[in-house]
């Protein structure tokens, strides 16, 4: 990675907004840059506090911390805007200036049998999208960017919980190329019916994602069956403004209507250790980041489902629908 924090742009924006005190949130991979960022901001006469809480996506905007510490602005590094906030937030997307040419060249072998590419990227590579398109076009491919839909901030941009923009172009393409990491490509392979090739910028690798889908689909089907059998169910909600995937009230009614005992549990962040003491609960439904249930199920001692999966278990959605739409 060769990260550019766009210091000049940040300073200019802070001078314009003129806050007295800011809360800085850094994505997980860039927390080590806190001391240098602190100096840039303090040199402007602005008081700085860093949030030490995890920050996995643009969904994790620390509004409660900001209010508790009386700051006037949140500066959120490493993600694009996810949803509109009532609180002032300055997003600094952070650019990865790594030269992708060697990886793109390597990918041509994997892409040999495909002509029409669907292209999506994680936010650090947005600045490079025209170069990437040109590279593939110069090599005889056509390139269509995934649509800007839902929580995706730009055409081609993909977040780990919204693949509608890819699904909308899947009839036009032979294969999807994801510039980013395993997280984004794994979500894609669960959401689209075309092959997915990952340009893994962080591990300097190119690989197809075939084989992963079947394994996860089998596991998710098993979790859905567990919820059908469960007597006691915990519905987990998080306080992060962007992590509200589904209505706890609706689920409570439906679960109780099926004769189950159901409770709602609130958390700052869902982790396996926090659920341990609820040992009497047979099954959890988490309405926070849907990737917790889909990607991290093996870390939990009890089955854990997304909202959509719970709807399938409750007979409110069909298995075919979720296979078509994806699990997140």
* Element at 64 (helix H, strand E): helix 63-68
Task: Give the separation between CA 99 and CA 89, rounded to whole angstroms.
Answer: 30
The answer to whether 223 contacts ligand SF4 (rule: CB under 6 A) is no
The answer to whether 160 contacts ligand SF4 (rule: CB under 6 A) is yes
> Which tokens belong to 48?
């700085």
The answer to whether 146 contacts ligand SF4 (rule: CB under 6 A) is no
Do 56 and 28 form a contact (C-beta atoms < 8 A)? yes
CB of 91: closest distance to ligand SF4 in angstroms? 13
Q: Residue with structure tokens 């005190």? A: 21
The answer to whether 186 contacts ligand SF4 (rule: CB under 6 A) is no
The answer to whether 166 contacts ligand SF4 (rule: CB under 6 A) is no
Backbone angles phi, psi at 57, to 5 degrees: -160, 175
Do 77 and 61 form a contact (C-beta atoms < 8 A)? no
CB of 90: closest distance to ligand SF4 in angstroms? 18
The answer to whether 56 contacts ligand SF4 (rule: CB under 6 A) is yes
The answer to whether 188 contacts ligand SF4 (rule: CB under 6 A) is no
Q: Tell me whether residue 107 or residue 152 sits nearer to ligand SF4 (CB atom).
A: 152
Question: Which of 19, 58, 118, 246 is in the footprint of ligand SF4 by CB under 6 A?
Answer: 58
3 - beta bridge partners? 96
CB of 299: closest distance to ligand SF4 in angstroms? 15
Q: Tell me whether residue 40 or residue 183 sits nearer to ligand SF4 (CB atom).
A: 183
Question: Which of 37, 41, 57, 145 is in the footprint of ligand SF4 by CB under 6 A?
Answer: 57
CB of 311: closest distance to ligand SF4 in angstroms? 18
Q: Residue with structure tokens 């409570």? A: 252
CB of 288: closest distance to ligand SF4 in angstroms? 7
The answer to whether 159 contacts ligand SF4 (rule: CB under 6 A) is yes
The answer to whether 145 contacts ligand SF4 (rule: CB under 6 A) is no
Q: Residue with structure tokens 């979720």? A: 322
The answer to whether 80 contacts ligand SF4 (rule: CB under 6 A) is no
Q: What is the CA radius of gyration of the chain?
A: 21
Q: Tell me whether residue 107 or residue 159 sits nearer to ligand SF4 (CB atom).
A: 159
The answer to whether 189 contacts ligand SF4 (rule: CB under 6 A) is no
Helix (H, G, I), strand (E, B) or coil at 44: coil
CA 16 to chain centre: 30
Task: Give the separation between CA 120 and CA 189, rounded to whole angstroms.
Answer: 12
CA distances from 154 to 85, 110, 247, 294 (A): 18, 27, 27, 25
- Sequence-distant (≥ 6) Cβ neighbours of residue 118 within 8 angstroms: 144, 145, 146, 166, 169, 170, 172, 173, 175, 176, 177, 194
Question: Which of 14, 23, 46, 59 is in the footprint of ligand SF4 by CB under 6 A?
Answer: 59
DSSP 59: T
Do 218 and 248 form a contact (C-beta atoms < 8 A)? no
The answer to whether 152 contacts ligand SF4 (rule: CB under 6 A) is no
The answer to whether 243 contacts ligand SF4 (rule: CB under 6 A) is yes
The answer to whether 77 contacts ligand SF4 (rule: CB under 6 A) is no
Write out the residues near ligand SF4 by the rule CB under 6 A: 56-59, 159-161, 242-243, 289, 291
């Amino acid at each position: 990675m060769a990260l550019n924090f766009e210091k000049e742009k940040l300073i200019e924006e802070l001078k314009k907004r003129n806050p007295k005190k800011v809360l800085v949130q850094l994505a997980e991979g860039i927390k080590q840059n806190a001391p240098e960022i602190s100096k840039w901001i303090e040199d402007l006469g602005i008081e700085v506090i860093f949030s030490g809480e995890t920050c996995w996506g643009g969904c994790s905007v620390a509004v409660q911390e900001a209010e508790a510490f009386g700051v006037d602005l949140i500066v959120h590094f490493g993600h694009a805007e996810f949803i509109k906030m009532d609180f002032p937030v300055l997003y600094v997307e952070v650019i990865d200036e790594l030269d992708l040419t060697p990886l793109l060249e390597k990918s041509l072998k994997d892409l040999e049998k495909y002509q029409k590419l669907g292209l999506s990227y994680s936010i650090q590579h947005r600045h490079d999208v025209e170069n990437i398109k040109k590279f593939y076009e110069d090599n005889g491919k056509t390139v269509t960017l995934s649509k800007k839909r839902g929580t995706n901030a730009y055409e081609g941009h993909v977040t780990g919980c919204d693949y509608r923009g890819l699904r909308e172009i899947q009839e036009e393409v032979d294969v999807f190329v994801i510039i980013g990491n395993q997280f984004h490509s794994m979500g894609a392979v669960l959401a689209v019916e075309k092959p997915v090739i990952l340009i893994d910028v962080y591990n300097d690798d190119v690989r197809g994602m075939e084989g992963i889908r079947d394994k996860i689909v089998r596991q998710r089907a098993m979790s859905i069956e567990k919820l059908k059998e469960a007597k006691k169910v915990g519905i987990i909600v998080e306080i992060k403004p962007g992590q509200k995937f589904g209505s706890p009230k609706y689920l409570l009614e439906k679960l109780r209507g099926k004769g189950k005992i159901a409770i709602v549990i609130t958390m700052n962040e869902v982790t396996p250790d926090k659920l341990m003491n609820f040992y009497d609960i047979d099954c959890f439904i988490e309405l926070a980041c849907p990737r917790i249930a889909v990607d991290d199920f093996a870390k939990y001692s009890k089955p854990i489902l997304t909202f959509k999966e719970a709807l399938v278990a409750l007979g409110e959605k069909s298995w075919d629908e979720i296979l078509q739409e994806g699990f997140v």
